[in-house]
Chain A
């Protein structure tokens, strides 16, 4: 499939529009509800992070979203206009000292619901991969690469 790309303003009212656009394009795959849930939540968490931390709610700054489907591999890229962050040293939200904290679960959920995630060096772009017919949901993570 040719990579469809679109952008949304950094306004939370567009969060669902972003996920719906991707989910709607997957209709022909007859995906299980669980898989759709994982994709939707991951896209929305990535978009929320981009709006909140990347673009600081500045509505004039866009969030760039790009996705492609190759075979059963869905790849979604969400990019903000921010200066990025150090994705290598994120606290574990499940640890005793963090479990009562408000933040920190969004990216953790993405890591658990998608099959692969990767950031660009700057840290303002996240690439998420979901295998539509045989990823984590099915109990066996696929070989990367």
Chain B
């Protein structure tokens, strides 16, 4: 799994490529920890390159959601595959996260 981060105006965008599973979740967590507190107000996670997420990956996203919310920010998700989206529906995490079909849409709607 590879996580790339960039800034689009005031927004931090994390683009994930690969699987977010038990073995890669620690690296995914580190990607959030690397974001300076001052850049935590608006975070978009683009999951277009992710076709597999397990419960460890979901837990890492929930952890990041809480960290960012605690800092007064918002974490939103973009580009979930149908199967990954179904995991959010099953676990009701769809109620926690705002999910958009594209990164552009997420960027327009955050904040």
Contact = CB atoms under 8 A, between A and B. Distances in A.
Interface of A: 12-13, 15-16, 33-34, 37, 40-41, 44-45, 48, 93-94, 99-103, 105-106, 108-109, 112-113
Nearest to A107: B55
B52 A45 contact: no
Contacts of A109: 54-55, 87, 90-91
A105 B21 contact: no
B99 to A, nearest CB: 15
B22 A12 contact: yes
Interface string B44-63: 00000000101110110011
Contact of A102 (B63, B83, B95): B63
A101 B55 CA distance: 11
A99 B23 contact: no
A99 B93 contact: yes
B66 interface: yes
Contacts of B91: 93-94, 105, 108-109
Contact of A15 (B22, B58, B63, B96): B22
B4 interface: no
Interface of B: 21-23, 52, 54-56, 58-59, 62-63, 65-66, 83, 87, 90-93, 95-96
> Which applies to chain A's interface (DSSP): helix, strand, loop or mixed?
helix
Contact of A105 (B22, B23, B59, B66): B59
A112 B65 CA distance: 24
Interface core residue of B23, B54, B55, B91 (most chain A CB under 10 Å): B55
A48 to B, nearest CB: 5
A103 B60 CA distance: 10
Contacts of B92: 94, 99
B59 A103 contact: yes
A102 to B, nearest CB: 4
Nearest to B57: A105
18 contacts: A12-B23, A34-B83, A40-B52, A45-B55, A48-B22, A48-B55, A93-B91, A100-B62, A101-B62, A102-B63, A103-B55, A105-B55, A105-B59, A105-B91, A106-B55, A108-B90, A112-B90, A113-B90
Given A15-B23, A100-B65, A105-B59, 16 more contacts: A12-B22, A12-B23, A34-B83, A41-B54, A44-B21, A45-B54, A48-B54, A94-B91, A99-B96, A100-B66, A102-B62, A103-B55, A103-B59, A106-B55, A108-B90, A109-B55
